Chain A
Amino acid sequence: MGAGLTGRATDHAQRDLLRLATAGSVDDGKSTLIGRMLYDTKSVLADQLSAVEAATAARGGGAVDLALLTDGLRAEREQGITIDVAYRYFSTATRAFVLADTPGHVQYTRNMVTGASTAELAIVLVDARKGVLEQTRRHATITALLGVPHVVLAVNKMDLVGFDRAVFDAIAADFTTYAAGLGLTDVVAVPLSALDGDNVVDRSSRTPWYDGPTLLEHLEAVPVLRDPHTEDFRFPVQVVIRPRNAEHPDYRGYAGRIASGVVRVGDEITVLPSGKSSTVVGIDTFDGPLDEAHAPLSVTLRLADDVDISRGDLLVPAGSDTSVGQDLEGTVCWLAERRSVLGQRVLVRVGTRTVRALLREVNARLDVESLTVEQWHGVDTLHAVDATDTSSDASPQALALNAIGRVKLRLAEPIALDEYASHRRTGGFLVVDPADGSTLAAGMIGATLLDRLVVDAPADENDWLAGAGI
């Protein structure tokens, strides 16, 4: 658009952007791997490196610890752990990367969910000496739950197993089987040593048996987005632009970012939840009008008719079968210290719309630590508030911090409900505490991985998941 396509194209003008997340613990060498990627792509500058050298020396010296490049806050350095999502930036000639560095510790599952929500690719890290652990399965489960399309299994510390092909092949097969059971189909395994740099950026001479890409080669090759022409158009309206000045006395445009798909001048659209229809007569930007625009571009749309549209409305193609309703069923990850209470009054944020809601029912729970699913006949609290005791974390139908549960929410007004499985950009939602505004939970509308696991489960067993090898 604008000067970007017509102006002075530099080497970097056509570079695209990939968002990715890493999952793994300090023990797996995750911080070292990220430090290695920053270092080998020359994203570490002299003063950062000298600060790390000084910090290494202060702790007794030795070789420069690349992991220190990513340890941010004082409490983290003191405890040697990561407590929050950190964002890292590196780039190559063809692609820029935004990496969400998420902690692998159990108590910080919510950070992994956060990092995975925007990622197109997840790097799951394992220690070659240990193979696929329960923790690895947990990371894969969250990756699948959040619908991350591409997965890399980074088999780290290959130097400590003598670059043994058999070790790598066994771990890769183990993980790929498990991941397939979760619906993760695009899995690429890479044998590497973050400490020495083998197969991270540069190809290793110590793995002659491996003919796949290095980690960075793969990150550069993965497609960033699905073809927007194959997706449904979705446009959450953010603000209505009405200058009402001498130059633009009658201008009325609907500003937003295209969440998915393509819009063209002349397209018939429907406004949800009202159901009114109109025609797109203009796609405006500061740099001039467009005939056609696709996700994730921010634009302003003008329509042929003076229909009533405001912030929170969703524009979809006319004739779309998007459901509109007051009953939201989906899966939530509970993110707050306070556990959920059946019948509690909350706010639900979907797209740009916020509505009042009632937590009506919790009818299944995935324990991410043990990877077991509990389910029960949910008690519908719509007309029976406090029907069930949720006074402890162990109570059925209570969701404690990091719990993943299947819920029903009753909304105060009808809204457009896109399934997360097919509409990752519009099918996610937040549950917000109306009292202090804190984010209680993140949710996904419709059937998710949780439903897949529940349906597959034998009715009489709670620990079927481990038993089934999933």
Chain B
Amino acid sequence: MTATTTLTQLDVLESEAIHVMREVAGEFERPVLLFSGGKDSIVMLHLARKAFWPAPVPFTLMHVDTGHNFPEVIAYRDSVVEQYGLRLVVASVQDAIDDGRVVERSDGSRNALQTVPLLDGITSHRFDAVFGGGRRDEEKARAKERMFSLRDEFGQWDPRRQRPELWDLYNGRHKLGEHVRVFPLSNWTELDVWRYIEREEIALPDIYYSHDREVFLRDGMWLAPGDWGGPRPTETLETRTVRYRTVGDMSCTGAVESDATTVADVIAEVGASRLTERGATRADDRASEAAMEDRKREGYF
């Protein structure tokens, strides 16, 4: 038995995230946690386990499957679901393409195509609260996002109609057909997430750590070959020592050259890095100055 001393930054961030998750459990009927197998969603799941212990996590998990996933990440997802006895639903971009709800893009990227299956998944399961791992430090449109973010029946985000959020009183009331996106990691930075992973000894998919991989260069990013359509005949495969800072659709998630094999190595690397994780590894946010803002308005994560 111990007594708490002064709370550190990570203690305060953890406590805030747990508070937010318990508010959702208390206020909503059918919450769901978006689980990509990426580090932010893994940290969210860890926080959910802590928030309700010794009871099990009271949320369903939903994975939006682009069909172009890293196999290591899918394996991680399935092992976690089994280990903690969780319920997983998968919203599939391939299914949406097959039945004509979305159309494949010429460049093969499916990142932007996730919005339709995401919204369809929310509607068909009647989810009323949707946990996302978004952080305000990621991108300037996210800097204005609330912890509880109301979405209309089309899943749209309207920055001018956001509810003021005062103290720790989160207003999750909504009309039928609307839902609320909830971001428990809003106040975390990328380094905070990594330091928390270190402190809590949370296991991640192997691709977050340095490994040798066949990659090719496109638009200044190291992409991995796969069914999604790369490389083109003009692009050359070569073996590099890399790791991933984010995990998303293989068509637009680039690897960074890195020798970081442990969490401590990654923290040192991230601390010294001169690029944000989105700038380094996400082609989708490079499209325009307001790319994220546009996708958020349409109902993206």
Q: Is B233 an interface residue (CB 8 A)?
A: no
Q: Is A355 an interface residue (CB 8 A)?
A: no
Q: Which of B7, B10, B167, B174 has the most CB of A within 10 A?
A: B167
Docked Cα-Cα span, A88 to B290, in Å, equals: 18
Candidates A45, A55, A88, A288; contact of B289 at CB < 8 Å: A55
CB distance from A78 to the nearest CB of B (A): 10
Question: Are B2 and A430 closer than 8 Å at their CB atoms?
Answer: no
Q: Which of A71, A75, A298 has the most CB of B within 10 A?
A: A298
Give the residues from 273 to 312 in chain A that come closer than 8 angstroms, CB to CB, to chain B: 284-294, 296-298, 300, 311
Query: Contacts A257-B18, A298-B22 known; A48 to B143 CB distance under 8 Å?
Result: no
Query: Contacts A13-B8, A439-B171 known; A47 to B280 CB distance under 8 Å?
Result: yes
Give the residues from 214 to 271 in chain A that come closer than 8 angstroms, CB to CB, to chain B: 238-239, 241-243, 245, 247-248, 251, 255-257
Q: Is A72 an interface residue (CB 8 A)?
A: yes
Question: Are A239 and B164 closer than 8 Å at their CB atoms?
Answer: no
Docked Cα-Cα span, A352 to B19, in Å, equals: 11
CB distance from B98 to the nearest CB of A (A): 35
Candidates A45, A72, A111; contact of B273 at CB < 8 Å: A45
Question: Are B3 and A3 closer than 8 Å at their CB atoms?
Answer: no
What are the residues of chain B within 8 A of A286 when measuring CB–CB? Answer: 49-50, 53
CB distance from A37 to the nearest CB of B (A): 14
Candidates A1, A13, A46, A429; contact of B275 at CB < 8 Å: A46
What are the residues of chain B within 8 A of A17 when measuring CB–CB? Answer: 8-9, 12-13
Q: Is B165 an interface residue (CB 8 A)?
A: yes
Chain A 405-447 interface mask (CB, 8 Å, partner B; 1/0): 0000000000000000000110011101000111100100000
What are the residues of chain A within 8 A of B55 when measuring CB–CB? Answer: 241-243, 245, 248, 251
Candidates A10, A86, A88, A430; contact of B195 at CB < 8 Å: A10
Q: Is B125 an interface residue (CB 8 A)?
A: no
Question: Are B1 and A289 closer than 8 Å at their CB atoms?
Answer: yes
Question: Are B10 and A87 closer than 8 Å at their CB atoms?
Answer: no
Give the residues from 27 to 70 in chain B that come closer than 8 angstroms, CB to CB, to chain A: 49-56
Question: Are A437 and B175 closer than 8 Å at their CB atoms?
Answer: yes
What are the residues of chain A within 8 A of B164 when measuring CB–CB? Answer: 110-111, 113-114, 335, 439, 442
Candidates B11, B12, B51, B166; contact of A114 at CB < 8 Å: B166
Candidates B14, B22, B199, B200; contact of A255 at CB < 8 Å: B22
Docked Cα-Cα span, A224 to B289, in Å, equals: 36
Residue of A nearest to B53 (CB): A286
Q: Is A12 an interface residue (CB 8 A)?
A: yes
Question: Are B169 and A349 closer than 8 Å at their CB atoms?
Answer: yes
Docked Cα-Cα span, A407 to B285, in Å, equals: 47
Question: Are A4 and B26 closer than 8 Å at their CB atoms?
Answer: no
Q: Is A324 an interface residue (CB 8 A)?
A: no
Query: Contacts A114-B166, A290-B2, A439-B164 known; A72 to B143 CB distance under 8 Å?
Result: yes
Q: Is B6 an interface residue (CB 8 A)?
A: yes
Q: Is B16 an interface residue (CB 8 A)?
A: yes
Query: Contacts A46-B274, A241-B52, A296-B12 known; A117 to B279 CB distance under 8 Å?
Result: no
Residue of A nearest to B165 (CB): A114
What are the residues of chain B within 8 A of A292 when measuring CB–CB? Answer: 3-4
For the complex, count residues of B whose C-beta is within 8 A of A. Answer: 71
Q: Is A184 an interface residue (CB 8 A)?
A: no
Question: Are B187 and A285 closer than 8 Å at their CB atoms?
Answer: no
Question: Are B11 and A437 closer than 8 Å at their CB atoms?
Answer: no
Q: Is B232 an interface residue (CB 8 A)?
A: no
What are the residues of chain B within 8 A of A95 when measuring CB–CB? Answer: 9
Residue of B nearest to A237 (CB): B26
Q: Is B162 an interface residue (CB 8 A)?
A: yes
Query: Contacts A73-B159, A286-B53, A437-B174 known; A298 to B293 CB distance under 8 Å?
Result: no
Question: Are B13 and A291 closer than 8 Å at their CB atoms?
Answer: no
Residue of A nearest to B52 (CB): A241
Question: Are A442 and B166 closer than 8 Å at their CB atoms?
Answer: yes
Give the residues from 210 to 261 in chain B that come closer than 8 angstroms, CB to CB, to chain A: none
Residue of B nearest to A427 (CB): B167
Docked Cα-Cα span, A5 to B53, in Å, equals: 20
Docked Cα-Cα span, A88 to B187, in Å, equals: 9
What are the residues of chain B within 8 A of A352 when measuring CB–CB? Answer: 23, 26
Question: Are A83 and B2 closer than 8 Å at their CB atoms?
Answer: no
Chain B 143-172 interface mask (CB, 8 Å, partner A; 1/0): 110000010000000011011111111010
Question: Are B4 and A89 closer than 8 Å at their CB atoms?
Answer: no
Give the residues from 173 to 200 in chain B that come closer than 8 angstroms, CB to CB, to chain A: 173-175, 186-187, 189, 192, 195, 198-200
Q: Is B276 an interface residue (CB 8 A)?
A: yes
Q: Is B25 an interface residue (CB 8 A)?
A: yes
Candidates B7, B144, B279; contact of A85 at CB < 8 Å: B144
Question: Are B22 and A86 closer than 8 Å at their CB atoms?
Answer: no
Chain A 58-96 interface mask (CB, 8 Å, partner B; 1/0): 000000000000011111000000011111110100011
Question: Are A4 and B141 closer than 8 Å at their CB atoms?
Answer: no
Docked Cα-Cα span, A26 to B25, in Å, equals: 40
Give the residues from 280 to 297 in chain B that come closer than 8 angstroms, CB to CB, to chain A: 280, 289-290, 293
Question: Are B26 and A87 closer than 8 Å at their CB atoms?
Answer: no
CB distance from B221 to the nearest CB of A (A): 12
Question: Are B19 and A257 closer than 8 Å at their CB atoms?
Answer: yes
What are the residues of chain A within 8 A of B141 when measuring CB–CB? Answer: 72-73
Docked Cα-Cα span, A467 to B8, in Å, equals: 47
Docked Cα-Cα span, A2 to B6, in Å, equals: 13
CB distance from A313 to the nearest CB of B (A): 12
Docked Cα-Cα span, A420 to B92, in Å, equals: 49
Residue of B nearest to A7 (CB): B199
Candidates B54, B173, B279; contact of A241 at CB < 8 Å: B54
Q: Is A51 an interface residue (CB 8 A)?
A: yes
Q: Is B201 an interface residue (CB 8 A)?
A: yes
Q: Is B140 an interface residue (CB 8 A)?
A: yes
Question: Are B199 and A3 closer than 8 Å at their CB atoms?
Answer: yes
Docked Cα-Cα span, A117 to B166, in Å, equals: 6
CB distance from B276 to the nearest CB of A (A): 5
CB distance from A394 to the nearest CB of B (A): 24
Q: Is B269 an interface residue (CB 8 A)?
A: no
Docked Cα-Cα span, A241 to B55, in Å, equals: 7
Question: Are A89 and B189 closer than 8 Å at their CB atoms?
Answer: yes
Beyond A17-B8, A87-B143, 10 additional contacts (C-beta under 8 Å) are A3-B200, A4-B8, A74-B293, A83-B159, A96-B192, A292-B4, A297-B7, A349-B169, A349-B171, A437-B150
10 tightest CB-CB pairs across the interface, nearest first? A437-B173, A47-B279, A286-B50, A46-B274, A117-B166, A298-B18, A238-B22, A243-B55, A292-B3, A17-B9
**What are 6 A-B residue pairs whose CB atoms fall within 8 Å in the complex?**
A7-B199, A17-B13, A45-B275, A51-B289, A425-B167, A437-B150
